[in-house]
Amino acid sequence: MQRVASLIHLNAARSLKLTGKGVGIAVFDTGIGRHPDLTMPGTRLQAFVDIVNHRKDYYDDNGHGTHVAGLVAGDGTASMGKYRGAAPGCGIIALKVLDRYGNGSQDDVLRALRWIREYRQQYRIRVVNISVGTTCNSKRNHARLLESVEQLWDEGVVVVTAAGNQGPRPGSITAPGSSQKVITVGSSDLLEGRSAISGRGPTAECVCKPDIVAPGNKIMSCVPGKPYSYGVKSGTSMSTPLVTGAIACALEKNPALTNTDI
């Protein structure tokens, strides 16, 4: 009952036309591309950090990160408001931790987490969206990743992670979504049937996961480049930013909420 009540509360926040204004959201992904919904003058891109190639100007050589950022914060400019993100008024801090093929290293994610700890006050980062996961089977091999994510949580940041697309077998939650502290998001429409891929618990510590689910199948969002357009992607990567945006709206309504309150 508690989780149902929480979901109703967040949906109510959106019905009040909250936009996540003033809330900083860090997005760990493939970067962010030029799109009027996100990066045109006056929009919400506040910082871009290229952990992979160390380039200064923002870009997305894969497209996944732009799609995720659009689901968090796109304002629908290119679609006349038809395709908007969950929190179009929030600030986006994009950290590129994956390469053009969508691959990355644990060390790069750890560097990004250290960057957040150093600059989160400057950019008013309240939420971190991690639509990224490792399929490593050994707890020992991703212990540093879990420790770093949980340290960020302990410092008061809301960390929202994808359950991963290795399901639906039990124990298929990817790290860092396997952390018992963070909010792990599964895909409500990819849990059953032929298209079932959403990760399921329990984790190695017998923690029930995911914590919440949201739509993730054939979700429309921003595509980088010109002409400015939209495209469809599926997976728990798409479910996660919807929850992240809802959390930003809740924090806009009541900035005093802590990550444990959320």
Instruction: Write the CA distances from 86 to 14, 59, 68, 197, 243, integer angstroms.
Output: 8, 22, 11, 23, 8
The one catalytic residue in 35, 64, 67, 142 is 64
Question: Could you give the strand order of the β-sheet that contains 24-29, starting from the edge strand earlier in sequence?
Answer: 45-50, 91-96, 24-29, 125-130, 158-162, 183-187, 212-214
The total of other beta-carbon atoms located within 10 Å of residue 15's CB is 8
What is the largest distance, in Å, between two alpha-carbon atoms of the chain? 48
The answer for residues whose C-beta is within 8 angstroms of residue 222's C-beta and 6 or more apart is: 33, 35, 37, 38, 66, 67, 69, 70, 74, 78, 83, 228, 230, 231
**Catalytic option among 29, 75, 108, 211:** 29
Task: Respond yes or no: is residue 57 known to be catalytic.
Answer: no
237: annotated active-site residue: yes
H-only helix segments in the chain? 2-15, 64-73, 106-119, 143-154, 236-253
From 111, 18, 98, select the one nearest 52 (Cα to Cα).
98
Q: Say whether 54 is catalytic.
A: no
Q: Which of 148, 179, 221, 237 is catalytic?
A: 237
Show which residues are catalytic: 29, 64, 237
